[in-house]
Amino acid sequence: MRTRILITLAATASMLFLAGCETWLPGGTVATSTDGSVSMQVPQGWMFTRTLAGANADLLATKDGVLLQALTIEHQELKDPLPNSKRKLTADLSPFEIAEAVIDDMRANREMLNIAVKENTPATVGGSAGFRILVSYDVPQPSGLGISQMRYGTIVGNRLYLVTFLAPSRHYFERDLSEVDAAVSSLVITPSKAPAK
């Protein structure tokens, strides 16, 4: 168990924004990923950046700070395995099966302890059939902070797109959920810009 002092709330390690080379812009506008394949209306009062360290990270937005809430969009090529379970997905999987694989991947993630799946429902994500998963978990000690995470996902072309909202379960998660749902409903994935099969 590694001791953590600073970053205990980040969608992936590649989202660490302290690299210093990111440009942050105010929300209340449509943010488009650098390759143009995905866009979302970022809520007013939030800030976002598109220039992130990880190659698959499309967007990171926050209102009170990335250690208190993080709304991220990322993609994963289907040819690459999921980060924790090493499973590879295929384009013919149903949203149920993709959600199942994503949940299994979370269960294999040692940074997500005491994980509980609260909801797992079909959802339209960026115009495509997808899923919406709500989980709660604890980050490893010494913090032990309780986190809730809403994860939306869909496969378009040869990519898995994931929109993730995570925040401390106490107060922050519920408070911002309706804004996040509205933002996700504005999501547009442009298949022609996403790589073909």
Partner 1 sequence: MADIGVPQIAPLNIEVFELSAGGVSEKRDDWTATVQSLVAKELARQTGYTPAPPPDSEAAAAVVDEVRAVSALMQQIALNHLVHLMAPGTLASGNKPLNHNVGRIDRILDALQVEGLLFVFVRDEYSTGGRKALMALGFLAGAATGIYVVPRGGFTINTAALVSRDGTVLWFNYAGSGGDMREPEGASATVKMLLAGLPPMQPKAAAVGE
Partner 2 sequence: MKPRSSFATGLAIAIAALVGCQSTNMAPIRESTLKLEPDEERLWARSVEEEGALARSGLVADLPELEAYLTGIVDRLHPEPLPGGGRFHVRVLVDPTLNAFAMPNGAIYVHTGMLSRIENEAQIATILAHELSHTTHRHGVRGMRSIKNKTAFLMTFTVGTGGIGGGVLGILGAVGTMASVSGYSQDLEREADMEGFKRLVATGYDPRESPKVFQLLLEEAKRAKFKEPFFFGSHPRLEERIASFNEMARKFPSGEAAGALAAGEYERIVAPALPLNAAAALHAGDFDLALANVHRGQARTPDEPGLGFIAAETYRKRAGDGDAALAVESYARILAQHPGFADAHRGLGLMRMRAGDRAGAADSFRTYVKLSPDASDRAYIEEFIKQCEQES
Residue ranges that bind partner 2, judged by CB under 8 A = 1-3, 81-82, 84-87, 95-97, 99-101, 104-105, 107-108, 113-115, 117-122, 138, 140-142, 144
Least distance to partner 1, CB of residue 166, Å: 12
Closer residue to partner 2, CB minimum distance, 26 or 81: 81
Least distance to partner 2, CB of residue 74, Å: 19
Instruction: By CB under 8 A, name the binding residues for partner 1.
Output: 5-6, 8-9, 17-18, 20, 24, 26-27, 45-47, 49, 62-68, 143-146, 168, 170-172, 175
Closer residue to partner 1, CB minimum distance, 81 or 142: 142
Least distance to partner 2, CB of residue 98, Å: 11
Q: Choose the contact partner of 168 out of partner 1, partner 2, none; CB within 5 to 8 A by kind.
A: partner 1
Least distance to partner 1, CB of residue 185, Å: 21
Least distance to partner 2, CB of residue 147, Å: 14
Closer residue to partner 2, CB minimum distance, 22 or 100: 100
Cα dist from 105 to 10, 36, 108, whole Å: 16, 27, 5
84: its two tokens: 């924790």
